[in-house]
């Protein structure tokens, strides 16, 4: 049964949560008194629909239904997950929890997006404190995996486990913060870095752009794949972490940083920062900046997927849980996906090599269907493509949803031949075809041989069925 999420507060963060749930097949109800809320969520959704599917090599589940509601009761009634993302004011959050707990199921999980409040502060005075946890996301919520799940001893272990499972099923990485603390874990770092940056601007040491350059050309790249401690472990050389601490630890008490001291945010300082930021990025609208950020994030995350590391490993694991059903056809829908931005080239369209990749993925699906799957290959038998004729019929672009339809045109002995048609989902346009001829091989001798009897029987039956249809 389709699950339902209730989004309370549909601003920057609520919109991101709505997109994450919707694109993973949940129905989403939104409550936000702002008359502009639907328009704002639409804009976030447009970004999410462009970016999130590009992360995966398979199609995401069918989108859920999005509805807007004028009462809190209608929004939360029967919802499985309620995500509060109203402005960062404790009195407002208390008011919202009080009102929604009058109508929501006692078994529903209530997550708060709060950047800084501790869960015990949120639970204070609630009718059912055990339902309320902090689920602190990172912007853009639809792309960044981290959710800081902060709990108290009032939250039953079963609820915490369920919360982790649901977040994981959405492609998130739930980091369980077991001991609550103001601003959780990540925002404490972000604040420290931000404080230091404000000093550097105020003291005229660096502009906003120079500070951003110091991050994006250097340690920002390191942090994205190894974090802080693993990076510093390497920086200690062969002697490792202990040597690193001995060498650089004393610097922490030298006057390298202003540490806890916060510059007064006078109008003058705020204006200086705003002016520098305008000079740096004012030529792009917020939507253009978001699109640029999202495309960069997708490309970086896909690179991490290829290495099977950090957030990339998580996305690989999430993809395994997305169900794709292969049927005999004809035709077999052998691939369905979105074209990622990093598959396009200097001509502004999908590069020819990626057409080959897609047809190769389609052939893999046919192999799985006949039983020549990963276990079969690990056992030493497989198929090799020996001939492939591709016709390029129309351009394909980043963000387009496409599918490959395959007919098995020959299946006898060692021979397996497929005719693939790549189509655009939106209008059914035929983008390319591939006539692919494969031979069954023994991976040890690297010579052609007959398939295992059961695989051969399926290949023969499939070819017969497709010929007769």
Ligand X SMILES: NC(=O)C1=CN([C@@H]2O[C@H](COP(=O)(O)OP(=O)(O)OC[C@H]3O[C@@H](n4cnc5c(N)ncnc54)[C@H](O)[C@@H]3O)[C@@H](O)[C@H]2O)C=CC1
Which residues are annotated binding-site positions for NAD(+)? 9-14
Name which of 142, 127, 160 is nearest 55 in CA terms: 142
Question: Residue 399 gets which letter from DSSP?
Answer: T
Q: Does 113 bind ligand X (CB under 6 A)?
A: yes
Q: Does 13 bind ligand X (CB under 6 A)?
A: yes
Give CA–CA dist 56/49, Å, rounded.
12
For ligand L46V6VHR, the closer CB: 143 or 338: 143
DSSP strand pairing (81-84 vs 66-69): unpaired
Based on C-alpha coordinates, what's the Rg of the chain?
26
Q: Which residue is nearest to ligand L46V6VHR (CB)?
A: 115
For ligand L46V6VHR, the closer CB: 77 or 175: 175
For ligand L46V6VHR, the closer CB: 16 or 329: 16
DSSP strand pairing (27-31 vs 109-112): unpaired
Residue 330 structure tokens: 């004809």
The Cβ of residue 167 has, within 10 Å, a number of other Cβ atoms equal to 23
Applying CB under 6 A, which of residues 6, 11, 80, 318 lies at the interface with ligand X? 11
Give CA–CA dist 171/51, Å, rounded.
14
Name the 3-class secondary structure at 133: strand
Q: Does 139 bind ligand X (CB under 6 A)?
A: yes
Q: Return the half-sphere exposure (C-beta side, CA atoms, 13 A cut-off) of residue 368.
A: 15
Q: Does 10 bind ligand X (CB under 6 A)?
A: yes
For ligand L46V6VHR, the closer CB: 115 or 406: 115
Kindly state the number of chain residues that form the binding site for ligand X, as judged by CB under 6 A.
23
Shortest distance (Å) from residue 349 CB to ligand L46V6VHR: 33
Per-residue contact string for residues 36-65; x = within reach of ligand X by CB under 6 A: -x----------------------------
Name which of 458, 453, 347, 349 is nearest 396 in CA terms: 349
Name which of 63, 56, 57, 82 is nearest 20 in CA terms: 63
Name which of 381, 380, 382 is nearest 364 in CA terms: 382
For ligand X, the closer CB: 12 or 449: 12
Q: Which does 31 bind (CB under 5 to 8 A by kind): ligand X, ligand L46V6VHR, none?
A: ligand X
For ligand X, the closer CB: 136 or 423: 136
Q: Which residue is nearest to ligand X (CB)?
A: 11
Applying CB under 6 A, which of residues 47, 114, 135, 152 lies at the interface with ligand X? 114
Q: Are 211 and 280 in contact (CB under 8 A)?
A: no
Taking CB under 6 A as the binding criterion, the range among 58-66, 113-121, 236-244, 330-338 that sits at the site for ligand X is 113-121
Residues of this chain that bind ligand X (CB under 6 A): 8-14, 31-34, 37, 85-88, 96, 113-115, 136-137, 139
């Amino acid at each position: 049964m389709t699950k339902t999420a209730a989004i309370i507060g549909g601003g920057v963060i609520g919109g991101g949560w709505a997109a994450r749930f919707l694109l993973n097949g949940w129905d989403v109800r939104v409550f936000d008194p702002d008359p502009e809320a639907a328009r704002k969520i639409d804009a976030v959704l447009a970004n999410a629909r462009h970016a999130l599917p590009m992360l995966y090599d398979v199609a995401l589940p069918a989108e859920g239904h999005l509805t807007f509601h004028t009462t809190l009761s209608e929004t939360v009634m029967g919802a499985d997950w309620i995500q509060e993302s109203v402005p960062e004011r404790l009195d407002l959050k208390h008011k919202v929890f009080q009102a929604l707990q009058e109508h929501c199921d006692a078994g529903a999980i209530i997550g708060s997006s709060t950047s800084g409040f501790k869960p015990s502060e949120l639970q204070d005075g609630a009718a059912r404190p055990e339902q309320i946890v902090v689920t602190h996301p990172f912007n853009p919520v639809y792309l960044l995996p981290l959710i800081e799940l902060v709990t108290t001893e009032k939250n039953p272990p079963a609820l915490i486990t369920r919360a982790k499972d649901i977040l994981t099923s959405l492609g998130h990485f739930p980091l369980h913060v077991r001991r609550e603390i103001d601003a959780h874990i990540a925002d404490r770092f972000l604040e420290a870095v931000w404080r230091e940056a404000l000093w550097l601007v105020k003291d005229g040491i660096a502009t906003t752009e120079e500070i951003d350059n110091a991050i994006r050309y250097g340690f920002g790249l390191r942090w994205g794949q190894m974090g802080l401690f693993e990076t510093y472990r390497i920086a200690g050389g062969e002697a490792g972490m202990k040597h690193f601490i001995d060498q650089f630890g004393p610097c922490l008490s030298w006057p390298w940083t202003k540490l806890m001291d916060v510059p007064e945010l006078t109008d003058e300082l705020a204006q200086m920062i705003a002016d520098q930021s305008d000079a740096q990025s004012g030529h792009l609208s917020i939507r253009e900046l978001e699109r640029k950020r999202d495309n960069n994030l997708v490309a970086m995350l896909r690179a991490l997927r290829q290495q099977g590391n950090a957030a990339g490993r998580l996305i690989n694991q999430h993809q395994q849980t997305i169900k794709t059903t292969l049927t005999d056809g004809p035709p077999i829908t052998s691939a369905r996906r979105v074209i990622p931005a990093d598959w396009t080239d200097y001509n502004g369209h999908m590069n020819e090599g990626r057409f080959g990749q897609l047809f190769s993925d389609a052939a893999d699906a046919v192999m799985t269907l006949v039983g020549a799957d990963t276990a079969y290959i690990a056992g030493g038998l497989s198929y090799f493509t020996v001939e492939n004729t591709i016709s390029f019929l129309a351009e394909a672009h980043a963000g387009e949803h496409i599918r490959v339809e395959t007919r098995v045109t020959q299946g006898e002995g060692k021979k397996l031949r497929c005719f693939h048609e790549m189509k655009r989902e939106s209008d059914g346009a035929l983008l390319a075809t591939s006539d692919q001829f494969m031979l069954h091989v023994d991976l040890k001798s690297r010579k052609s041989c007959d398939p295992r009897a059961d695989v051969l029987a399926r290949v023969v039956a499939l070819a017969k069925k497709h010929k007769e249809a």
